[in-house]
Amino acid sequence: MGMAWFHRVLIALVWLMPALHAAADAPSTRPNVVVILADDLGYGDVQCYNPERGKIATPQIDQLASAGLRFTDAHSSSGVCSPSRYTLLTGRYHWRTRLQAGIVGYLGQPLIAPERLTIGGLARQQGYHTACIGKWHLGWEWQVPPERRKLFAPPRGEFPEVTDEHRAAWRDVYSQPIGGGPTTRGFDLYFGTDVPNWPPYCFIEQDRTVGIPSTFLPRAMFRNHLASLPGPALPDWRLEGILPALAERASDYIRQRAAAGQPFLLYLPLTSPHTPLAVNQPWRGRSGLDSAVADLVMETDDAVGRVLAALRESGIERQTLVLFTSDNGFAPYVGAKHLEQAGHFPSGPLRGYKGDAWEGGHRVPLVARWPGIIPAGAVCGQLVHQADLLATLADLWDAQLPADAGEDSFSLLPLLRGGDRPIREHAVSHGSNGLPALRMGQWKLLLGPSGGGAWSELSATAPDGHPAQLYDLAADLGETTNRYAAEPEIVARMTALMQRLVDQGRSTPGPAQQNDVAVNWKRFLKPAAR
């Protein structure tokens, strides 16, 4: 009797083994989340987005796309970085804040309000451990009074001798905790450089600098698109060490959290291929394009691969949702024309570059992978926005966002699961000078006659006297033909929509909210020609 029972149990276990293995490999309903944000990576810099006019090899990102879903109509909130980072983290358009143009300046105060819910804060509410590793560039509470600012910020091009007054001021500030950073905005852990081409030239861990800067960054490090602002540095600081350190820290974090068994959210804002174009020796010349930024794109792709390898080697690849994107388009000032002459077009088929309200400024790669949930090799042409991440995570975790959170965030989850119906009917992205560009289905309205960027052409498509620009992106992705005069009804609908989005303080359903400041979206409109 006992032996017969044992045999029956053994047979049942043999039959159940495949199901048990399948259950062990099945994606978790509470996956880990890894968000990788490249810096200044153009839509056409990723090979799978630009197969005909892209000459830079990006095998790691391409493999991520082939194993998941590639969005072709994804957008950042701006053509420059700080506003896009704000929107990705909060699900709220940056132009509802004080940042109506440009970026958070050196020694600038925090842009994210202390009470504002971020993806990190939402994940912590769900019992996740959270980390931000990389470039923050959303402001800190630096304790630098105006009368001492000159000690931290010499004029561009000037490299003064370090004095005892400099060192004393730096010691006072950098030996103290720095408020307002990532660990006060939803993240348990932070490690990064804040802005890699700005001081202080050292890493920051949690809320303290790693070491006390005691010298100025040498003059030699300001050539060839390396550092930008003179300022305090560690004596042995190496710009080439930043990207490898971030990839290593992120990989270590993944391994540690996998061993801990607690779900985690990792926000990994890489510092590249933004300046400094500090390429490590194994990657110099690898692109074959005689271009440091092209080589750095390849090194960035490798860093992404190292992080993905950590997920695989830790045995949690199938339990992890990975999102890869970029904060804005390619920076034209680091060699766009040279690359195009060599056959590589960083914006692919799009008009414009970093800073622009044209598509090349804010249409960005967006790849999502979650084995077993997201179909492999899928491509989605629906309009999506980096603001949508917060609502996506809330939907994934069946969490209800409060009325004053994620005001411009729509859930991507139906698209991630293979759907192909629109999740949003409109979206707003800005040029670096604050010029709004409104999408409504296939139509795009730039609410002024220029591109809105600081580095590209500043004129309209033609000197036609029109106050704004309207493009049919379904027929004219390159934004070559201004339809403003030909489609007055569409212009009227879209301008009314823009006013409504401003007035309601949100673009999602829900009670009206207050913008932080008055939003004058009409200030770029050119008076109509008489």
What is the DSSP secondary-structure string of 35-62?
EEEEES--GGGSGGG-TTT--S--HHHH
In order, the DSSP letters of 123-174 are HHHTT-EEEEEEE--S--B----GGGHHHH-PPTT--PPP-HHHHHHHHHHH
So what's the pLDDT on residue 464?
Answer: 67
Token pair of 472 as six digits:
């049919």
CA angle centred on 160, ends 158 and 161, rounded to 5°: 160
Hey, is 215 helix, strand or coil? Answer: strand
So what's the pLDDT on residue 19?
Answer: 40
For residue 380, the Cα-to-chain-centroid distance in whole angstroms is 19
- Classify domain 428-504 at the CATH topology level: Arylsulfatase, C-terminal domain (3.30.1120)
Contact 377, 369 (CB under 8 A): no
So what's the pLDDT on residue 10?
Answer: 45
Nearest residue to 91 via CA among 483, 384, 482:
384
Contact 298, 238 (CB under 8 A): no
Amino acid at 137: H
Contact 203, 209 (CB under 8 A): yes
So what's the pLDDT on residue 457?
Answer: 57
Secondary element (H or E) of residue 503? helix 488-504
Site of tokens 């074959």: 288
Contact 461, 479 (CB under 8 A): yes
Contact 174, 200 (CB under 8 A): yes
Contact 507, 438 (CB under 8 A): no
Contact 329, 352 (CB under 8 A): yes
Annotate 271-293 with b (16+ C-beta within 10 A) or e (fewer): bbbbbbbbbeeebeebbebebbb
In this prediction the pTM is 0.94
Nearest residue to 485 via CA among 469, 501, 498, 507:
469
Nearest residue to 144 via CA among 182, 195, 199, 192:
199
Hey, is 320 helix, strand or coil? Answer: strand
DSSP 8-state symbol, 7: H
| Measured torsion, CA atoms of residues 274, 42, 332, 452, in degrees rounded to the nearest 10 | -110
Q: Dihedrals φ, ψ of 482, to 5°? A: -75, 115
Contact 63, 304 (CB under 8 A): no
Hey, is 33 helix, strand or coil? Answer: strand
| C-alpha to C-alpha distance for 134 and 181, rounded to whole angstroms | 12
Site of tokens 């303080």: 505
So what's the pLDDT on residue 23?
Answer: 40
CA distances from 213 to 26, 133, 243, 278, 290 (A): 48, 21, 20, 20, 34
So what's the pLDDT on residue 461?
Answer: 47
Q: What is the pLDDT along the chain (530 residues), one digit of tens a residue?
A: 455 554 554 444 444 444 433 344 445 569 999 999 999 999 999 999 999 999 999 999 999 999 999 999 999 999 999 999 999 999 999 999 999 999 999 999 999 999 999 999 999 999 999 999 999 999 999 999 999 999 999 988 888 999 999 999 999 999 999 999 999 999 999 999 999 999 999 999 999 999 999 999 999 999 999 999 999 999 999 999 999 999 999 999 999 999 999 999 999 999 999 999 999 999 999 999 999 999 999 999 999 999 999 999 999 999 999 999 999 999 999 999 999 999 999 999 999 999 999 999 999 999 999 999 999 999 999 999 999 999 999 999 999 999 999 999 999 999 999 999 999 999 999 999 999 999 999 999 999 999 999 886 544 444 567 899 999 999 999 999 999 999 999 999 999 999 999 999 999 999 999 999 999 999 999 775 54
CA distances from 364 to 345, 419, 469, 527 (A): 14, 21, 21, 32
Token pair of 325 as six digits:
């994107």
For residue 76, the Cα-to-chain-centroid distance in whole angstroms is 7
- CATH superfamily for domain 29-425: Alkaline Phosphatase, subunit A (3.40.720.10)
Domain residue spans of the chain:
29-425, 428-504
So what's the pLDDT on residue 507?
Answer: 98
